[in-house]
Structure 1
Amino acid sequence: MTTEELYAYYLKNPVISTDTRNISNGCIFFALKGENFNANQFAAQAIEKGAAFVVIDEEEYSTDNKCLLVDDVLTALQKLAKYHREQSNIPVVGLTGSNGKTTSKELINAVLAERYKTFATHGNLNNHIGVPLSILSIKPDVEIAIIEMGANHQKEIELLCTIAQPTHGIITNVGMAHLDGFGGFEGVKKGKAELYNYLKQTQGYTFINRDNSNLLEMSANAGLSKLIYYGTENGNTIKGTLKSSDPFIEVDWTNHEVTTTVKTHLTGSYNFENILASICIGDFFDMSADDINSGLSKYEPKNNRSQLTKTETNTVICDFYNANPSSMTAALNNISVLTADKKVAILGDMFELGAESENQHELIAQQTENNDLDEAIFIGKYFYSFKEKFKGTYFETPTEAAAYLKENPIKNSLVLLKGSRGMKLESLLEYL
């Protein structure tokens, strides 16, 4: 079946599913394969649950005319999304970076939605499967889309750009993340710069934080021309000043020689640049300062990224969706400047650091001794290896940490709870 033929089915049934646990009536089920599963085996089950059609790549699982046979299901999904994108001429803001991708995406969407009908990537559907699913979720009435693109190896952003075809782009930053897959920090820069290279080829617009020397270097190397700058100095399209960040961020920002102030529900001074980025993009799309500030002031984080949560006895900075050395350092620096009678950091291992794992965990453990902390608790095998070298309480698993917190409750404290997603630190929240 060709992409054009498959698209005709999609237009009549524009809901895509890749999980038999989430089948809706009339959807099209794509039977993807993974290392440990082959969804072709569940094609009949998907039809029984209400799927209008199933897309398969193994003919033996074709039971009736509801089974649409392709050479490769993943490739068919990606080509279908690319074809769908090509039918539309709306602006697409492509967004990537080592830290702040999802928060920036949410902020940009919050701003633009004050004036436009927008679509933004749901959750973190930002990989080679998530981006096609996101593109195929864009309805005909959408005026601007914000597509988050994640990567952990070279050429991934390049692939996602060919699918999403961004007309505008932003790299939030480059940091010590996915070092194993990228092959070190220079590899991270090269991988993220694939967005810049695409925008150069397509004459797209690029939003750049002028305070970030890495981004300036990368944009120069790519030969970008359509540049819109934001930052803290004069000469930028948007100039911003961090007015306050204890506990919530308040920003003064200037454009066209007019200065305005916005109060947000975001914590963490490191989110200042994410806020500026959303202001810059809103301004580019002809939004008034009042509308921009309205979108930012109404946004409340709910995704365990820099989310301030009040428990019975503590205030917890829930930042346990993910972690890498750059974001961990920023989070520790942030808690050190916040006002609290007692400060506690509960830190979980950081994953996908490859050969840098030991060194980076040591640097973070060492940093806690230099921060204004009353207590540091470390969880995971990497941090545990430094239990004799640095002060703190160490556990190999979250289960052990939970037992400790149950017997030794933390009270009347500001608590930073941060680690990689795989550490599942959310399990500790009930003990705080």
Structure 2
Amino acid sequence: MSGLFLYFYFMELHELHKRYLECQGVCTDTRKITKDCLFFALKGDNFDGNTFAKKALEKGAKYVIIDNQTYQESHQTILVDNVLLTLQKLATFHREYLNIPIISLTGSNGKTTTKELINTILSKKYKTTATLGNLNNHIGVPLTLLSMTEKTEIGVVEMGANHQKEIEFLCKIAKPDFGYITNFGKAHLEGFGGVEGVIKGKSELYDYLISLGKHIFVNTEDPIQVEKTKNANTITFGFSDKTNHLNIQFLDANPFVSLLFHNLTITSKLIGAYNFSNIAAAISMGDYFKVSDSDIKNAIESYTPSNNRSQIIHKGTTNIILDAYNANPSSMKVALEHFSKQKHQNKIAILGDMFELGSEAKEEHQAIVNLTNSLDIHKVYFLGENFYKTTSKDTKATFFKSFQAFEETINLNTLNNALVIIKGSRGMALERVLGLLD
């Protein structure tokens, strides 16, 4: 091993950070290499990033981080014990180097929408950097932190989890100063071990912030949030408690959520009363960070949902609510209840399986079927093996074991002149329904 390469092998974290600052961004996929980036050769179940080290350099990476000496190429190759651990440690080092306020949020439903709203509002006054898409896990959080620059004034970091201690781990990486939990619902029940496990796991964000005397935004309409933050430095919002730091009045959700804030009426482009709390949380943070009321109003009213999240799409005579990014029993329930209240003569629901429910999968899918029986929805198509195992005597319900079976059987004319909601877990990829309507 050359002397130069030995130097890189024993490089201290602050020296590695200097190399990082020389680079133009971070990359973990050679298909997305940009000139002068820092490439981390991560491993996956079916690949070893070390084998792509040479390719990354050839495509323009300035430095490559590897953990297998076999793939040493030049002084541009930095050998470490563990690439993933180095990514995480470097992200924390960079976060401390920047020393800016970090807002972290998690929750069972609505965290990505809330994160987008927060970022939209705060960016009216500050240079912000927020989690891109849903890069919210043990890799995504470090990548988010490393996407922040010396120009970033506030960081917004989304944290996802499907088991205990995951949020705790992500907090140690991001070291947030502020936190918010959107809600506690029936998501990832298999990994968390039931709803109580979800509450415990998500509350790891509270535990971290409370232990350091940091600040927590609390929706006082949620009794779990109130109970879990009794001993915290809280910034409260809601509509019924006069002691709140900020009160926001819900006005309507037909078809879009509107609310009253500091005597300003705000009409969003988000459907469903369940999105009121997401908007209110973002407004609360904007208010705390002294974004002007007019900028908050403009930010909320200009935000348009995307990425299969509560998107409104028009296909000929069909109006579609595309909410196919993900689903769990809690989000499915509120979405269907909202949908049933819409005024239309032909309301159709296309619903896909909900994943990661473990032993509760059968019961939860049957509960959704039972719910649709009682709602004002004219036709329901259930797709997936879990829904296929349920039963219903309601003539408006039709079951398909797979998307392919639905595709081969469905008469698309039934979707004409209709209001349609499409919702299911990510693995169902129900946005494919749009392709059938082209």
Q: Same fold (TM over 0.5)?
A: yes
1:390 Cα deviation after fit: 5.1
Taking the TM superposition and a 5 Å limit, the aligned residue runs for 1:99-138 are 99-138=109-148
The code of the aligned residue for 2:398 comes to T
1:5 Cα deviation after fit: 2.1
Give the unaligned 5+ runs of structure 1. none
Partner of 1:214: 224
Q: Distance in 1 between matches of 2:347 and 2:110?
A: 24
Q: Deviations over 1:16-59 (max 9, x none)?
A: 11111111111111111122211111111111111111111111
Match of 1:34 among 22, 32, 44: 44
Residues 407 and 413 (structure 1), Cα distance of their counterparts in 2 relative to 1, 3 Å cut: closer
1:252 Cα deviation after fit: 1.4
Partner of 1:422: 427
The code of the aligned residue for 2:426 comes to R
1:288 Cα deviation after fit: 2.1
Partner of 1:141: 151
Give the unaligned 5+ runs of structure 2. 1-10
Q: Distance in 2 between matches of 1:11 and 1:116?
A: 22
Q: Distance in 1 between matches of 2:239 and 2:404?
A: 44
Taking the TM superposition and a 5 Å limit, the aligned residue runs for 1:292-311 are 292-311=296-315
- Is residue 2:20 matched to residue 1:13? no
Is the Cα contact below 8 Å between 1:95 and 1:147 reproduced in 2? yes
How many residues of Structure 1 are paired with residues of Structure 2 in the alignment? 425
1:132 Cα deviation after fit: 0.2
Residues 290 and 388 (structure 1), Cα distance of their counterparts in 2 relative to 1, 3 Å cut: closer
Q: Distance in 1 between matches of 2:414 and 2:140?
A: 40
Q: Distance in 1 between matches of 2:164 and 2:88?
A: 18
Is the Cα contact below 8 Å between 1:379 and 1:397 reproduced in 2? yes
In terms of mean alpha carbon deviation, does 396-405 or 143-152 score higher? 396-405
SS of aligned partner of 2:180: strand
- Give the structure-2-normalised TM-score: 0.94
Partner of 2:249: 241
Q: Deviations over 1:260-316 (max 9, x none)?
A: 210111111110100110111111111221111111111111121111111112111
Partner of 1:405: 410
In terms of mean alpha carbon deviation, does 402-411 or 343-352 score higher? 402-411
Q: Distance in 2 between matches of 1:390 and 1:65?
A: 69
1:376 Cα deviation after fit: 0.3
The code of the aligned residue for 1:420 comes to S
In terms of mean alpha carbon deviation, does 93-102 or 306-315 score higher? 306-315
1:411 Cα deviation after fit: 0.9
Q: Distance in 2 between matches of 1:108 and 1:351?
A: 28
Q: Distance in 2 between matches of 1:36 and 1:213?
A: 44
Q: Deviations over 1:340-390 (max 9, x none)?
A: 221111100000111111110010011000111000000000000124555
Residues 390 and 74 (structure 1), Cα distance of their counterparts in 2 relative to 1, 3 Å cut: farther
Q: Deviations over 1:39-94 (max 9, x none)?
A: 11111111111111111111111122221100000000000000000012211110
Residues 390 and 34 (structure 1), Cα distance of their counterparts in 2 relative to 1, 3 Å cut: farther
Q: Distance in 2 between matches of 1:24 and 1:379?
A: 40
Is the Cα contact below 8 Å between 2:257 and 2:267 reproduced in 1? yes
Residues 431 and 242 (structure 1), Cα distance of their counterparts in 2 relative to 1, 3 Å cut: farther
Residues 327 and 340 (structure 1), Cα distance of their counterparts in 2 relative to 1, 3 Å cut: same
Partner of 2:80: 70
Taking the TM superposition and a 5 Å limit, the aligned residue runs for 1:314-329 are 314-329=318-333
Match of 1:229 among 236, 250, 253: 236
Q: Distance in 2 between matches of 1:402 and 1:61?
A: 47
Is the Cα contact below 8 Å between 2:24 and 2:35 reproduced in 1? no
SS of aligned partner of 1:87: helix
Partner of 1:201: 211
RMSD, aligned CA: 1.3
Is the Cα contact below 8 Å between 1:114 and 1:294 reproduced in 2? no
- Give the structure-1-normalised TM-score: 0.96
- Is residue 2:380 matched to residue 1:373? no
SS of aligned partner of 1:340: coil
1:196 Cα deviation after fit: 0.6
